[in-house]
A and B are shown apart, each in its own frame.
Chain A
């Protein structure tokens, strides 16, 4: 079965640079969620989109922005990168405004900020 696709899988950036992470949801899924997981930390919810509109907002820094496109893929844009932004970034998708048992996670993008 098709899963959530994230690209790139690994990304290395310098401080103050920008980064763009991409997420391709499971086919027919129209809701996308972004999570950040720092080293040794628990996943933290950043933001979600349903039908291309922002739906829920978590602890997303002002330096980050995200959007969902007409084909339902989503991009997380990160500017003025800081060392503390080094983390695994997971994207999840669900069909409709799913409940907590229907979020399917991707493999993650490991971002390293030097």
Chain B
């Protein structure tokens, strides 16, 4: 599995756009990039997944450059409720494989 590196923590304010970058230099050809969100004392929740270029859903956007050695999760107009830990996962997944969580990014949104 590709090793991922994310910032330990980030701060922002309500209404701002937040970008969290994840480095994954040894990503394999077939690997997908998946982001999960976890609120305190709750189970992780899937946010978005992508393979290349850009993916957008109702919650976030995921930007992946051509070399795929990094990816950026973009949260538009954050609110206090977006305060959570965000995990970047890189791998093929499937086959009932467990998720491999690395060190996530603790995002704190202030008023």
Contact = CB atoms under 8 A, between A and B. Distances in A.
Interface of A: 4, 31, 33, 35, 42-50, 55-56, 58, 88, 90, 92, 94, 97-103, 105-108, 110
Given A101-B46, A102-B46, A103-B46, A45 B96 contact: no
7 contacts: A42-B103, A48-B96, A58-B98, A97-B96, A99-B49, A103-B99, A105-B43
A56 B49 CA distance: 22
**Nearest 7 CB-CB pairings of A with B:** A105-B43, A45-B98, A100-B93, A55-B96, A50-B96, A99-B93, A101-B49
B58 interface: no
Interface of B is mostly: loop
Contacts of A100: 32, 34, 46, 49, 89, 91, 93-94, 97, 99
Contacts of A106: 43
Interface in B10-48: 32, 34, 38, 41-46
B7 to A, nearest CB: 14
Contacts of A50: 96
A31 to B, nearest CB: 5
Given A42-B87, A107-B43, A99 B96 contact: no
B89 A88 contact: no
A97 B96 CA distance: 4
B100 interface: yes
B98 A33 contact: yes
Given A101-B34, A105-B43, A107-B43, A49 B96 contact: yes
